[in-house]
Amino acid sequence: MTYLDLLFIPVTVIYFLVVTTLFMYGLNFLYLSYHAWKKRDALESEPPKNLESFPFVTIQLPIYNELYVAERLIESAAALDYPRGRFEIQVLDDSTDETVALVARIVDRIQAQGIDIHHLHRAERHGYKAGALADGLKTAKGEFIAIFDADFVPNPDFLKRLLPYFDADNIAFVQARWGHLNGSYSLLTFLQSLSLDAHFAVEQLARSQLGLWFNFNGTAGVWRKTAIVDSGGWKAETLTEDLDLSYRAYLRGWRARYAGEVEAPSELPVSFTAFRRQQHRWAHGGFDCAVRYIPLIWKSDASLAQKIQASLHLTGYMIHLLLFLCVFLYPLVVAISVRYPGLISLFGLAVLFNFTALVPIALVAVAQKSLHKRWFAILPYMVTLAALGAGLMLNTLRAALQVWAGRRGAFERTPKYGITARAQKWESRRYYVNVDWLVIFEILLALLNVGTVWLAIQNSNWLIALYAVIFAAGLFFNSGLTILQAIQRRFPRGPLADSP
């Protein structure tokens, strides 16, 4: 009896469990895509009604060392088309560098224009972003709280278009759709724009239209102050305070609305190390919230559909972990298929199930078409986008292991450089996130996938060869771009400036 005989049963069972779970996630993506396409007109609809009165709004701008974008953010908030006597601005500044002095000058200038704006600087960054929002809420005068992160530039009509959605007393928050100031800056920002469009034009739209639970995205939205307080307030217990508060609000009986036709432009990360950090934080927070709230969700009075969809939503990053398992299962599946030829058809059926791992591409196509973009032109980038996601599997695995080990981790914000045009350079600007040692393991894992490609081709298992190629390409792309940007930063070409 060989080791393959010993591994036959456990590998077969695990493999079918993995691909069946992937199939379940894939079918759900198709379900959401179908309903988002049916409801795509909601991305162009008008608000439920025009504002008949102007409730007082507190605009919170949480920032931390944002030398390059602080001025742009504060000025856009001050330029909102809303009666001056009916809003205030809180600049929640946790900065430890020259941003503090810069913000103070900007706030003084805007105060001189008769706008109610406050510079709230904390000496200690307790609770990170959640702590800053909570501290600001203590003195907030608004019935509603609008929140914008430092990378956003809200349009002047933002408040007038979102506030009408609070047409019932049990609406906790209204979320707008993110736009992109620099989606065409590089391949990385373009792929991010495709992914975010899929999230906002498909997932958020479909969930909201179907009466399912969807989350506040941390920025470009408005909360009812009483809903925040009733749900327990902002907490720094997870790295995704927005997701955490959203689900606590739902469990308290609150509802939410999605204003997909209102676009809030934002700057996408141009640094791959910064993008990694962002994805790690989102994955860590998602897993943490899943552990905390899925048991409570299934004990709640929510409908069965809401419970199922909330569970799939909170565990969305599980797909990366399943793909990681596939990396090690594929060579074993090929080897076992060779030893037991009669299983080829059975394993082939399971591999067909794996096609649903590529179903998220359908979200992208539906999103681009719904947003009246040239969806056909982006088809060549679909596999690249799939590879980018697969290449994050180790990044996500580390986040999952940290949650499993009970490590909360520090909230590390994503650096912004004020980059909106291709001619701009960012390599010499501060706040650079250093290269992660994880790239070494990504390269090794990519090489393992190259071996799987060779093994699969030798045995004419073309589907596994295809998946292994995508995995290898993604891991090489992610690690290679990380290293390349580090080299470009170490040896810059041309004049570079470090000024806001």
Phi then psi for residue 66, to 5 deg, are -120, 60
- Per the annotation, the verdict on 242 as an active-site residue is yes
Residue ranges in 56-157 assigned as alpha helix (H): 70-78, 99-111, 128-139
Residue 38 CB: number of other CB atoms within 10 A?
A: 11
Residue type, 17: L
> Which member of 135, 197, 242, 288 is catalytic?
242
Place of tokens 């509802």: 255
- String of DSSP letters for 452-464: HHHHHHHTT-HHH
Which of helix, strand or coil describes residue 327?
A: helix
Task: Report CA 246 to chain centroid distance, whole Å.
Answer: 15
Q: What is the DSSP letter of 409?
A: -
Q: Which of 236, 233, 177 is nearest to 370 (CA)?
A: 177
> Which member of 93, 94, 116, 149 is catalytic?
94
- Per the annotation, the verdict on 288 as an active-site residue is no
Dihedral sign (CA 310, 311, 312, 317): positive
Residues recorded for the chain:
500
Residue 195 CB: number of other CB atoms within 10 A?
A: 17
For 253-295, strand residue ranges (E) read 255-264
**Rounded CA separation 139/137 (Å):** 5
Q: Which of 6, 3, 16, 2 is nearest to 346 (CA)?
A: 16
Give catalytic residues, as residue numbers.
94, 242
